[in-house]
Amino acid sequence: MSEIVFSHAKKAYDSKKTVIEDLNLVISDGSFTVLVGPSGCGKSTTLRMIAGLEPLSAGELVMDGQRMNEVAPEDRDIAMVFQNFALYPTMTVRENIEFGLINKKIPREERQKLIADVVETVHLAEYLDKNPGELSGGQRQRVALARAMVKKPKVFLMDEPLSNLDARLRNEMRTELIELHKRLQTTFVYVTHDQTEAMSMATDIVLMHDGVIKQIDAPMKIYNDPNNIFAAQFIGTPAMNMFDLKKYSKQNNIPAQAKYIGFRPSRVHFTDEAAVSMDKMDFQGRILTHEFFGSEIIYRLQTDCGILSLKTFHKEELPLDMEVQVYVARKDCYFFDEKQNRVRCS
Amino acid sequence: MLQEKTVISLMKNKTVSDVRKRVWYSAWKKLKPYAFVAPALVIFLVFSIYPAFRIVELSLYHWNLVSPAKDFVGLQNYVNLFHDPEFFETLRNTILYTVLTVGLSLSLSLFLAIYLKNDTSVNRFLQRLIFSPYIVSLASISFLWLWLMNSDVGFLNYVISLVGIEKVDWLGNPHVALFSLVLISVWKTAGYNTLIVLASLQVIPKHLYEAAALDHANQWRTFHKITLPMISPTLFFITIVDIISSFKVFETIQIMTDGGPQNATNTLVFAIYEYGFKFYKIGYASSIGVVLLIMISIFTILYFRGLANKVHYQ
C-alpha cells in the first residue's frame, strides 16, 4: 500500500512567488500517474514535495496513511530518477548503484545479489565497471533506473527522465517503463511536459496548469471527455480546434451557455456539398499548409472563424490555396462556457 | 590544395601576376598564426628558456660575476653542494616550509569554502575580507607582519598576553621563525585558495546532493564520496601551484629574517641570492638554482600528467 495524498498543499518560495496555491490530489497505490503540463505549472514541484526535496509551505502530505511533512527524504521509502540522471560522475556504474545500499549498511553478499538482479533487468551487466561519462544517454538512463530499482522503493518518482534521450530511444524506454511498472506493481509518479508520453504510459493523468489541477483522469477519458479548454487543447496533437461561437453564424442546436466550440482535427472531413443537416457543422476554407506524416496528412485551413486544423488519412494530396468545404459531426463537437469549462449536453 | 587552386586559376585564363598573388596569399595564410605568436615566443625564449640553459651552464664554472674570466670546473660545484651541511639545512627548511604552507593553506581554505558556500551577503563580505591579503604586495605584508610580530611591542604578543601566554620571539627564535613565516604565507594565500575552492564547490550540480540525500548518505559520506572527488581536480591544481610557489619563497625571508636566526629560515631561493649577490659565487648559486629547477620541473610534470589523467566526467 502506498497511496499518496496531498490535502490543501501549498508551496511558496517567498511571499511573492507562490507556485502551488491549494493542491488536493490522491495518487492511488500501484498507479502509473503522470503529472503533465507546460513548464512552470508546478508539476516538478509537486514531485519534489513527494520526494521531500521541497518542504510544503502549508497543507499536508500523507503516504500510506502517515503524515510525511516532517519525514526526511531518505526515510520516505521512495526512489527518484532525475531529468539529467544525477549519476555520481566520479563513481563507476556499480558504485553508483551500490552507494545507497552501502549507506543503508546492507551486507556485502546481499548487495552483490541485489545488484546482479537489477543490472540483469536493465541490461547493464557489462558496463558495471565503467564511469557514467563513458556511457551513452540511454545507458546512463538505465543506470539511473537501476539505482532507483535496487532500493526496492514503494514509490518511484521520475522527473522528465526521457527528455534527454533522442526520439528513437525515448520510444524504446517508454515501452520499457510500461513493462517495468507492470512487473513491479509499485506506484510510479512521473513528470513530463510531453502529452504523448503522458498519453502512452499513464494509467492516470494529472493535468496541471499554473499550479492548479485542470483534470485528473485516465488517458482515453481525458482525451475523449475533457473538462475544460486547457485539457482539450493540451492533450492530443494537433491541438483541438477552438472557435468563438460568435464567429460561427450558422448556430444550430447549440447549448445556451456555450461560448466556445471545439473539435478534434481528426474528426473533420472533406465534403463536396454544403451541409444542411442539423447534426453537422460545416466550414469553408482555403488550404494554408499541409504536413505529411506518412500515414496521415495535416492540413491547416483559413476559415471565417479562424485557422482550422484537419487530420486525414486520405492518400491524395490537395494543392495549397485550394478552396475546400469541410464538416464535423455535431456529436464530435465540444462546447465550453465563458470560464472555459465544459458545457455538457444532456 | 595549393596546386589545385593554381591550376584552376590558370584554367580560368588568369594572368601570371594573379597566380603569384594567390601563392603569396596562401603562404601568408599558413604563416599568419606563427607571426602572431612570434613576439610572445621571442620574449619567452629570451627571458625564460635561455636563462634556464644559462644557469645550467654557469653551474659548471667558478665565476665572481664581474671578472671577465670564468673557470670551468665541471661538476665541482655540485660535489661541494652535496657535501655542504648548510645546503641540506636550506633544503630541509624549504621542504618543511612548503609542506606546512600548502597543507595548512589548503585545509584552511577547504574549511572556509565549505563554511562560506551559501551565497548570503555576510558570506560575500567575508569572502572579500579573506581575499584581501592576496592583493597586497609581499613586501608590504612583510613590513606589516614585522610590526605585528615584534617581540616587545607587537600586536600578536599583546593578544596572547591577554590569555596569559608568555611572549614569543616570533622571528628571533630559531625554533619559531620558520613557522612564523608559514603563518604569514597561509594568511596571504588562504583567501585566494578559498575563492577557487568555492568556485569549484558551486559548480557541483545540486541534484547530486539531492540524489545522495535520497540514497541515505549522511553528511560525512556526502562530503567524502561526492564533494571531495568532484573538487579534487581543483585541489590538485592548487596543491601543485602552491608547492611550486612555496619552493620559491624569498621576499618575506629577505625582509623579515634575512635567513636567520642561525640559518633557521634560509631557503633555496634565499641561498641562491646570498651566494650569487652577496658572496659573488655565481657558479655555486647556479648549481642550487639547478636543483630548484629540477624540483619544480618534477612538480610541473606531475601537474600536467595529472591534468591529462584526470577523469573528465560527463
Spell out the residues 6+ positions from residue B167 whose beta carbon is closer than 8 angstroms to its own: B151, B157, B160, B161
Q: A88, A147, A160: best mutation site toward chain B, by most B Cβ within 10 Å? A: A88
C-alpha cell at B203: 559548480
CB contact under 8 A, B216 and A90: no
Q: Does A106 touch chain B (CB under 8 A)?
A: no
Whole-angstrom distance, CA of residue A298 vs CA of residue A312: 6
Nearest C-alpha in A relative to B210: A53
Nearest by CB to residue B207, choosing from A82, A103, A104, is A82
Whole-angstrom distance, CA of residue B294 vs CA of residue B279: 24
Give me the pLDDT at residue B138, please.
86
Distance from CA of A48 to the nearest CA of B (A): 10
Q: Are A81 and A145 in contact (CB under 8 A)?
A: yes
Give the count of alpha carbons within 13 A of A175, CB side only.
Answer: 5
Q: Are A157 and A2 in contact (CB under 8 A)?
A: no
Statement: residue B224 has pLDDT above 50: yes
Q: A93, A99, A157, A189: best mutation site toward chain B, by most B Cβ within 10 Å? A: A99
Whole-angstrom distance, CA of residue B218 vs CA of residue A230: 44
pLDDT tens digits along B111-148:
999 988 888 889 888 888 888 888 888 888 888 898 88
CB contact under 8 A, A80 and B214: yes
SS3 B308: helix
Torsion angles phi and psi, residue A300, rounded to 5:
-120, 125
Q: Is the peptide bond before B33 cis (omega within 30 degrees of 0)?
A: no
CB contact under 8 A, B212 and A99: yes
CATH architecture, domain defined by B78-310: Orthogonal Bundle (1.10)
Query: Which stretches of chain A score pLDDT less than 50?
Result: none
SS3 A294: coil
Instruction: Map grid coordinates 541534484 to a residue.
Output: B207
Give me the pLDDT at residue A275, please.
55
SS3 A81: strand
Nearest by CB to residue B210, choosing from A86, A99, A103, is A86
Q: Where in chain B is the domain with CATH 1.10.3720.10?
A: 78-310
Torsion angles phi and psi, residue A127, rounded to 5:
-105, 5
CB contact under 8 A, B230 and A89: yes
Q: Does B207 touch chain A (CB under 8 A)?
A: yes
Give me the pLDDT at residue B256, please.
86
Residue A81's alpha-carbon distances to A98, A130, B40, B256, in angstroms, are: 15, 20, 51, 59
Statement: residue B37 has pLDDT above 90: yes
In chain B, which residues have their Cβ closer than 8 Å to the Cβ of A131? 311, 313
C-alpha cell at A223: 482525451
**Residue closest to B109 by CA, chosen among B90, B131, B137:** B131
Q: Does A90 touch chain B (CB under 8 A)?
A: yes
Whole-angstrom distance, CA of residue B185 vs CA of residue A123: 54
Whole-angstrom distance, CA of residue A221 vs CA of residue A199: 10
Whole-angstrom distance, CA of residue A216 vs CA of residue A122: 31
C-alpha cell at A180: 517495468
Distance from CA of B120 to the nearest CA of A (A): 16
pLDDT tens digits along A120-161:
888 888 899 999 988 988 889 889 989 998 988 999 999 998
Statement: residue B4 has pLDDT above 60: no
Contacts of A192-195 with C-beta under 8 Å, sequence gap 24+, read: A192/A34, A192/A35, A192/A36, A192/A43, A192/A160, A192/A162, A192/A163, A193/A36, A193/A37, A193/A38, A193/A39, A193/A43, A193/A160, A193/A163, A194/A36, A194/A162, A194/A163, A195/A36, A195/A234, A195/A235, A195/A236, A195/A237
Q: Give the gyration radius of chain B's Cα atoms.
A: 27
**pTM score:** 0.78
Q: Does A132 touch chain B (CB under 8 A)?
A: yes
Instruction: Map grid coordinates 541490461 to a residue.
Output: A123
Q: Does A185 touch chain B (CB under 8 A)?
A: no
Q: Does A53 touch chain B (CB under 8 A)?
A: yes
Q: Does A71 touch chain B (CB under 8 A)?
A: no
pLDDT tens digits along B256-299:
888 878 888 888 999 999 998 888 889 999 999 999 999 999 98
Q: For all residues of chain B together, what is the average pLDDT?
A: 87
Nearest by CB to residue A90, choosing from B212, B216, B229, is B229
Spell out the residues 6+ positions from residue A84 whose beta carbon is closer than 8 angstroms to its own: A164, B205, B207
pLDDT tens digits along A308-331:
999 998 777 888 998 988 888 888
Q: Does A163 touch chain B (CB under 8 A)?
A: no
